Structure 1
């Protein structure tokens, strides 16, 4: 009998990738967007998860608009904190393993060191605080969980930094990109494969999953244009040059301690992943 996996946020950038990969690997996949299951409606969540009785729940639905979250904190906490509680409680009730997709924004980015899974959290803005509250609800209400923190996500679905750069590269001769924020780009396909590997085990806990290595947004943009052969005048600028409603962590580089200590497959370098993405999409 094939395992049943229920995926929230199934119409999102990562959700679509997860639905495709788990289907391809022979799982019985139930992918729910907001239209089929509103995670903020506890009764509906309990009914749907109770009906499907999945072996695994992958919770990738979230309020991800970082700047908008600053002006609508209640909405962000409703979705990212209480929505996650609803999913955790319902998943626990049917005995399903739970994967909660979290973020590098749980850190303030003030240190020069990479963050491992045991580094103290200290989110700067509403988005990070609401996602961290979601993590806490998962710890409080679920017994078999994987909290997967990821960062700088891009892939073939949805809008993302790589697609934006490619579009701007065709329209402009010069472009300014922030060079004082560093982190780890993450290709959705590699993230989905890592999640697939996790859920086959009982090695529960917190995981930092991103591609290997790190870069600034400026270096990321430079690599994108180099890979596709677009000649553009790239100008490094600072975060202060482009004020945004939400503060971003200046350093959100991940150390993949849990992947290593639990003997999971190490994830390829971001540059290799980027090259693969651009060649195949």
Structure 2
């Protein structure tokens, strides 16, 4: 029975990893109260006591706008935390799966970012994640595994899908950004890719998101259509496309952050569902709840 340590277990990916745990694995699910990854001694003590075979670092500071002010906290979790886990993994010969983000890229591309594309994040969230990834590679070398993903959502926790459904029940009209392009990703899809990566002992940089591309406007419109179809919404409302300039935020977002999954699909022998297919599956779960 292999032991899997999951950090950030109370998050969307942590939830999906736990419910899709393969046979033959014991799950050590930790949140920030159970394991403070910013504390190197706490990490070493936990690893020494529980002796996991694999660590999945799904913990992250993801408040993109707040990271512009709470920089030290973002660094502590996204950069120092990743470093502490990587060092413990190296010292104890444990496999580490580091979960990363499309925000490590500059968002100025016009074609999907490959796994070896240059990282040049604009905001502090992306910078702290990029720096954490780099430290993992510095410490673990060729044994490092970093999986970047994008626009994550789940039936668990807070996310764009659930926020849109709430707004669509409360309002008659919404303005949604149409000039930021990426790919929505069901956290269940990512969890399955993580488990396959562990099974195959994959290493290096990899990308996983669902298939296809969308703007936030496209994503919101699809949520409305699926919501009405499933009876989660009683009617369609007006959704207006707006620009990034119409909705300024403290942190800038990538205008284009589509990830090229070719390398990962080949390595894992898996392909993602189209994001609309995945969205429908997740929203059926919401209805069942």
> TM range, normalised to the smaller chain?
over 0.9
The C-alpha deviation readout for 1:76-109, integer Å capped at 9, x for no partner, is 1111111110011111222111110100000011
Q: How is 1:97-136 mapped onto 2 (pairs within 5 angstroms)?
A: 97-136=95-134
Normalising by structure 2, we get a TM-score of: 0.94
Whole-angstrom distance in 2 between the partners of 1:117 and 1:73: 26
State which of 230, 233, 241 in structure 2 corresponds to 1:236.
241
Whole-angstrom distance in 2 between the partners of 1:145 and 1:129: 19
SS in 1 for 2:65: helix
The C-alpha deviation readout for 1:107-163, integer Å capped at 9, x for no partner, is 011111111101111101100000000001110112422201011000011100000
SS in 1 for 2:68: helix
Structure 1 ranges of 4+ moved more than 3 A: none
Partner of 2:281: 276
Partner of 1:3: 2
Q: How is 1:159-178 mapped onto 2 (pairs within 5 angstroms)?
A: 159-178=158-177
Q: Which runs of 5+ in 1 are unaligned?
A: none
Give the deviation of 1:228 after TM superposition.
Answer: 1.6
1:209 aligns with 2:214: no
Q: How is 1:230-269 mapped onto 2 (pairs within 5 angstroms)?
A: 230-269=235-274
State which of 6, 27, 30 in structure 1 corresponds to 2:28.
30
State which of 57, 66, 69 in structure 2 corresponds to 1:68.
66
Give the deviation of 1:260 after TM superposition.
Answer: 3.1
SS in 2 for 1:142: helix
Whole-angstrom distance in 2 between the partners of 1:138 and 1:162: 31
SS in 2 for 1:224: helix
Distance 1:279 1:174, change over 3 A: same
Give the deviation of 1:61 after TM superposition.
Answer: 0.7
Q: Is the 8 A contact 2:200 2:268 kept in 1?
A: no
The C-alpha deviation readout for 1:158-190, integer Å capped at 9, x for no partner, is 100000000011000100000000001000111
Q: Is the 8 A contact 1:206 1:258 kept in 2?
A: no
**Which deviates more from structure 2 when the two are superposed, residues 245-254 or residues 86-95?**
86-95
Q: Which runs of 5+ in 2 are unaligned?
A: 229-234
Partner of 2:138: 140
Whole-angstrom distance in 1 between the partners of 2:13 and 2:57: 10
Whole-angstrom distance in 1 between the partners of 2:120 and 2:82: 19
Q: How is 1:185-200 mapped onto 2 (pairs within 5 angstroms)?
A: 185-200=184-199
The C-alpha deviation readout for 1:242-265, integer Å capped at 9, x for no partner, is 110001000001110221342420
Q: Is the 8 A contact 1:49 1:90 kept in 2?
A: yes
Give the deviation of 1:8 after TM superposition.
Answer: 0.4
Q: CA RMSD in A?
A: 1.1
Work out the number of aligned pairs and report it: 279
Give the deviation of 1:35 after TM superposition.
Answer: 0.5
